[in-house]
Amino acid sequence: MADPISLAITPDTRLSTLLETLPELEPVLLRLSPAFARLRNPILRRTVARVATLRQVALVGGLQLGVLITELRRAAGLAVEPMADDPVLPVERPAWARSEAVTMRFDAVQLIESGGNPLGEIMALLARLGPGQSLELVTSFVPAPLVELSANKGLLSTSWQTHADRVTTVFHRPAAAAEPPAAFDPRAAATDATRARAPHPEPFQEIPSHDRQGI
């Protein structure tokens, strides 16, 4: 067992760092959730495992965060501290995530299980989302790192379990926000006020014929 103080196991510890420093913890992960067996996929190992934090890994494995951290810390010989669990996946879906609102769909399960990497295709589809459009992605786990990446690009997302080994995630690009009002310009306001006070010319009036003499 590695020196227990060589790594602090927290929700923000990256999975790649954990397994590089304490490779003996991999069987602990596999025991906690069968979903972690997919991390043996070389593609997922180089992508998801490289960037995923333990907070995201808990979502991937369908585990409460406190359970995951406690078991890993115990196996590593670290002190176990009470930890609040993250909320479970939402049940209620927003309107933009409902089936009739989805504009694009992509099932990545077969590609992932065959050893392929769907990240490029998924990112291309996300880039094609226009304002108010949604992409439905089907995977065998919660794509937590992708959810975080998309959020950094201004997209909304929500995930829910559809079958024992299927998770649906919908990404949504919000409609463009209304243009904000122009900033107050005191000089323009003063000009407008001056114009408002200026005398307006009288409307054209026809001069009676008896007053036109001498014109």
Domain at 159, CATH number: 3.30.110.40
- Determine, yes or no, domain membership for 105: yes
DSSP 8-state code for residue 93 = P
- Determine, yes or no, domain membership for 196: no
Domain at 49, CATH number: 1.10.3910
Q: Do 101 and 128 belong together in one domain?
A: yes
Per-residue pLDDT of the chain (215 residues; tens, 9 = 90+): 444 446 789 988 988 899 889 999 999 998 998 778 777 777 677 767 777 888 878 877 778 889 999 999 999 998 887 776 555 555 578 999 999 999 999 999 888 878 788 888 999 999 999 999 999 999 877 787 888 889 999 999 988 877 767 889 999 999 874 444 455 455 554 554 455 455 544 443 443 444 444 44
How long, in residues, is the chain?
215
Q: Do 71 and 101 belong together in one domain?
A: no
Are residues 129 and 135 in contact, defined by beta-carbon separation less than 8 angstroms?
yes
- Determine, yes or no, domain membership for 200: no
- Determine, yes or no, domain membership for 38: yes
Q: Which two tokens stand for residue 130?
A: 């226009």
**What is the residue range of 108's domain?**
95-172
Q: Do 108 and 166 belong together in one domain?
A: yes
Q: Do 106 and 71 belong together in one domain?
A: no
Q: What pLDDT was estimated at residue 180?
A: 44
Q: Do 151 and 102 belong together in one domain?
A: yes
Q: Do 60 and 109 belong together in one domain?
A: no
- Determine, yes or no, domain membership for 150: yes
Question: 42, 76, 110: which is the final residue of a domain?
Answer: 76
Q: What pLDDT was estimated at residue 190?
A: 52
Supply φ then ψ for residue 42, to 5 degrees: -55, -35
Q: What pLDDT was estimated at residue 187?
A: 57
* Vertex 139 angle, CA 90 and 54, to 5°: 65
Are residues 106 and 138 in contact, defined by beta-carbon separation less than 8 angstroms?
yes
Indicate the number of domains in the chain: 2
- Determine, yes or no, domain membership for 88: no
- Determine, yes or no, domain membership for 201: no
- Determine, yes or no, domain membership for 118: yes
pLDDT digits (tens, 9 = 90+) for 161-187: 777 678 899 999 998 744 444 554 555
Q: Do 100 and 156 belong together in one domain?
A: yes
